[in-house]
Structure 1
Amino acid sequence: MSGSSTPPGRKPTAFRLDDSKVRLTDDDSRRPSADEALITQAFLDDEEPRLPRAASTPKGGFGFGKWLMVGLTGLVSLGIGLAVDSLIRDLFARTDWLGWLAVALAALAALGLLGLVARELAGLARLGRIDHLRDKLRTAADDDDARTATAGLKELMALYADRPETAQGRKALAGHMHEVIDGRDLVKLAERDLLSPLDLEARRIVLNSAKRVSIVTAVSPRALVDLLMVLFENLRIIRRISTLYGGRPGTLGFLRLSRHVVAHLAVTGGMAAGDSLASEILGHGLAARLSARLGEGVINGLLTARIGIAAISVCRPAPFIAGTGPSVKDFMAELTSLANKQDTDGNS
């Protein structure tokens, strides 16, 4: 024991990482002095072995489901084509003018199909353009990049070039782009001058839909009616807000947009908002003042508002930089006052 010396122990001490007494070392055997703290590189580095990403990534199979859909779609298309061809031949056999009328109607249907496909592709392109523009403006604001912000704002003004209600905002923003050199400030000015009227209208859309859901679900005697009303209003909110911000989605674009809204809700925890909303309502003492149906209507209205808020975040071509955007609490007072009025009218 006399040949080995054990360093004296010391009491645990708290240090800040930016403290001058904290030092980084690669020597695991070095002992700290009484007035310093040593952090080894091994402590900072994540040296735990990790499997490659491919180990948790599903492997691409043969895509039997895709083959099935392609095959069925091809068979249905061939069946429709043969039926149309047979119909035209039969009409020509009966009389020529009926055959030529069928050919003209078939050509009209083909043109309509091509126009529908073109509209769907244009709608998807607009949604992709808005997503790209939102990411560009967010990057410009985070990096305070004036050049990226200017390019993004030019795209934003081009997006609303055919909207008369944005003419004043576009004019003001064009003037700011010649005077302001900070990228983050440019994005904030775009929010204030160009997007604020659209944001105000989006809030009105969400509030009105939430009120309708709250009233219908409070007075409806059937659960099926409640479900259909909530579904209808939620889909209506998504389409109207997308159109308001310049998306104008077609059927495929609307499905894609709805999927993005649901994904946004999942990421932000919106699907579990029911419990928190119920807690807030209970915390405001509304449970003691409202009937069960009115309380259910308020909760359904707030959940509809949550869908609308997610739709605003997904459809808006710019991120919220100057503010945090709408929240469920912004609609709480309106819905609860509406419920209180209904309760008062029902008791009188």
Structure 2
Amino acid sequence: MPQDIHPIAGDKPAADRRPATADGQSLTLQSRFPIARFQSLIALFLLCLALSILSDKFLSFSNLWNVMRQISVNICISVGMTLIVLTAGIDLSVGSVLALCGAITAGLLKNGIEIPSQNLYIGFTVLGAILAGGLTGSALGAFNGWAITRFNVPPFVATLAMLTVARGLTMLWTGGFPISGLGDTFLFIGTGWFLGIPVPVWISIIVVALAVFLTEKTRIGRYIYAIGGNESASRLSGINVNKVKIIVYTIAGALAAVGGIMVTSRLDSAQPNAGISYELDSIAAVVIGGTSLSGGRGSILGTVQGAIIIGVLNNGLVLLNVSPFWQQVVKGLVILLAVIIDKSNGKGE
């Protein structure tokens, strides 16, 4: 099986292909527009500067740590979304999967499983409940990947269906009511501190580090970029495209479960309507971070920058008492602007 597959192998003639960086961005484009490499950082700096002027609460330590906790959840989800988008796919179900996995974790931890006909009760430790939630997310993600590859269903349609299915299962599992009172040990995941840093931030750092290693140092990482660059050429090169896609969607489902567990722990409650619009925030983070929606170009660290921008924007709008309705308008326009910039940059390749 070929080892040196170009990360953004496209359908251009070989003579027209340009060398690329590790994250798949064109060297020629970067040399012509060097500021494009730092547009996310520049946008973040300007956003923080504006918010620090408009609100004296923004730069307080308590607010900054609060922002980091909130961003940690989106980072975990967005890392999985990045892997999917790099293969030219999309996952609209992450918010509902997050809610279902959080609810299953909370339900098993609080109530266990009762089988009256067998006079049997199965209790769960914190670790056991967390593993059950993680396995649920992985299974749902794998099902998404299987439906997409086995039946050639467009990712948009397959994951939109899973969005509805997972939300319905969440309502059935919870009965439409929150599951609360989960214990101090479980609460530590979402509210605890370790070495002076919130535990959710540590979790997101570990997730990012593993994802960077996966995409930059492993064979499957090269395959992910190759599939997004040109799926047909990847198949002809001997890559098992279907297997890679299923793995990617499985990882995304597992990371949505991690986000769900963090949210449930932080709130000490599994809410039936948790995760609504999280898929939009994750897609926004991916696009703002420079990952192309057409696949084959982008990076995990870019997505982290995008997630920070979305988190800071959300926090700033709340501090400025902006109506929640206008917040949705602003985020929608930011996503549109990011896509326009992405398409404009793509013209130079």
Q: Per the shorter chain, which TM-score range?
A: under 0.3
Tell me the TM-score normalized by structure 1: 0.27
Tell me the TM-score normalized by structure 2: 0.26
Structure of larger gyration radius: 1
Structure number with the bigger relative contact order (C-alpha 8 A, sep ≥ 6) is: 2
